[in-house]
Structure 1
Amino acid sequence: MDVKELKFLLKLLGVPDYRTSITKVEPTPKMKASERDRIGRQLIERGLVDCTEEIQKLAIAPPGKSLLQADPTTLPISEQELKVLKATAKGSISPGQTGVAADQRQAVIQSLAARGFIKIIDKKFKEVWLTERGKEFLRDELESNSTSTITLKMLTDYLRFLRKVYPSEKAALPQTSPASETAVPVPTKKPSDEDILQLIRALDQELATDNYLPIFHLRQKLQPPLSRPELDQALYRLEGDDKIELSSLVDTNPYSDEQINAGIHQDIGCPLFFITYF
């Protein structure tokens, strides 16, 4: 693998859920956007990365021109699509020149392009993310003989990724053990955020989870006296105060469905599952 492609992937390991705006991916300092996008497209072709794109310039295609010459009452397109075709008939335009509302224009344009009525002249990346194939590649296949250097941040992000994929055996073993077997006491009243932080540290040491404590261990101790939303909010506050970091689960194999469901669910991506304290 080309070292710049590798650095592109390693940059994605440093963002939540391995997904971010393309503008935040900088494989090397001062890399031109055009080169960054070229690398991104190469990785997409290999299935290691995926993306969303935004159309920047479009023009009418021959089938679209033929469609405009037909009886308007028989056209197999919507009013908004017809508006786009008429606008592009005057020449290549930007999406903003189509006359379609901003929240609809990309979908309308893509629908016409998919049917061959218009052609896309230019488009740009919007978001990029690491695919499951990309995770498998980094986990199982990555090899390089390059003497090029990577930053300590990239190395740290890669090591964190590997720890999530291959959690220590001691972190996985307690999954069938009752919470009562651990020596860490169960709070009898609602704890403060500082109390929760101390409990996280105590559980990590007791269970030897190498500062990657699965959230289900904490829930076993704190629900009750806390409700699930109360504990979630407390963890978010601790993260906001830079006292802990919440990270997602990548490999679900070592854990049961119940333990995975104990994570903090996200609208996009895997649940937040591990707690690291500072």
Structure 2
Amino acid sequence: MDINELDFLLQLLGCNDYCSSYDAIEFKSLKTKDKICLSLGKQKLIDYTREIATVKILSHGQDLLKLDPKEVSITQEERQVLEKISKASEQISLSKITLPEASKRDEIIKVLIDKGLIEAEEKIKKTKAEVWLTERGIEYLRDDYVAEGAGNISLDLLGNYLRFMRKTLCGHSQQLSTPIDNTEPSVEKDTNIGDEEILEIIRNLDRELGSDNYLPIFHLRKKLQPPLTRDELDKALYRLQASDQIELSTLLDPTDYKPDEVEAGIIQNIGGSLFFIIVY
């Protein structure tokens, strides 16, 4: 990690909930801010609000366009957008897809991505973007980072790091010093939650929250973590998807959600995080 990336992380440590506006004055002095942010994002140390920059058609999409429109399960508008994308030699920016109107276009793009017909490349959102430290970033600074070599770090940034470590150590100390009450028999948490039970919980949450079969994953995490770990729940959702009981859909516009809610999605190497659960 170079000194500029470390500077960026330490700046975030001084922000409320380790989250900041991307255009905050603290980052103004970083000339390569976009490059730094993308690098830290690839390392899963930070995350940020995103938007789709470009899209390109995949081979499955090309094959679909060769079929009779009556034989395929896409609407006429979806086909028109797919045809527009197919005419580009490489990627095409969303601004060049002028029909239908932007709001409907974005929804169609999302559908085409979910169906595996096109691929999207994301970038940092142009306006009102936020950036935040991920759980992995917190763990890295707390447990893994080793300072090496020489570099200029301001005392303000050093202070951010010291406060962060004191807060972490204080929480750990309280856990260690909590007395154990031996008068009550210990009860082991039941982590043996089956996939069918998880599916039923998804249905119940969807009804309770009125999410119209488009349940954001963070609601399920609040319900099941603990007793399940994040990884256990992710694997269960993948199993349900593989057995065609649910579909996991991406989030294109995160502006309506808090950073920690966005972070609850399942990060993918390509495309946006899997964020919504749809029951078949």
Q: Under a length normalisation based on structure 1, what TM-score does the superposition of the two structures give?
A: 0.51
Distance between the aligned counterparts of 2:135 and 2:159, measured in 1?
20
Gaps of 5+ in 2: 180-256, 262-280
Distance between the aligned counterparts of 1:45 and 1:160, measured in 2?
26
Q: Is the 8 A contact 2:44 2:136 kept in 1?
A: yes
* CA spacing shift, 1:39–1:59, aligned 2, 3 Å: same
Count the aligned residue pairs.
177
**Hey, what does 2:17 align to over in structure 1?**
17
Q: Secondary structure at the match of 1:166?
A: helix
Distance between the aligned counterparts of 2:136 and 2:172, measured in 1?
25
The answer to whether the aligner puts 1:62 opposite 2:59 as a matched pair is: yes
**Hey, what does 1:47 align to over in structure 2?**
44
Moved more, 20-29 or 54-63: 20-29
Distance between the aligned counterparts of 2:30 and 2:40, measured in 1?
20
Cα drift, residue 112 of structure 1: 2.3
Distance between the aligned counterparts of 1:49 and 1:94, measured in 2?
25
Cα drift, residue 167 of structure 1: 3.0
Q: Which has the larger radius of gyration?
A: 1
**One-letter code aligned to 1:61:** L
**One-letter code aligned to 2:51:** E
Aligned pairs for 1:134-213 (under 5 A) are: 134-167=137-170
- Cα RMSD, aligned residues only: 3.7
Distance between the aligned counterparts of 1:112 and 1:72, measured in 2?
15
Distance between the aligned counterparts of 1:112 and 1:169, measured in 2?
46
**One-letter code aligned to 2:122:** K
Distance between the aligned counterparts of 2:93 and 2:25, measured in 1?
26
Q: Is the 8 A contact 2:59 2:117 kept in 1?
A: yes
**One-letter code aligned to 1:39:** I
Cα drift, residue 85 of structure 1: 0.7
**One-letter code aligned to 1:155:** L
Q: Under a length normalisation based on structure 2, what TM-score does the superposition of the two structures give?
A: 0.50
Distance between the aligned counterparts of 2:114 and 2:20, measured in 1?
26
* CA spacing shift, 1:110–1:128, aligned 2, 3 Å: farther
Moved more, 156-165 or 127-136: 156-165
Distance between the aligned counterparts of 2:53 and 2:99, measured in 1?
15
**Hey, what does 2:227 align to over in structure 1?**
none
**Hey, what does 1:240 align to over in structure 2?**
none
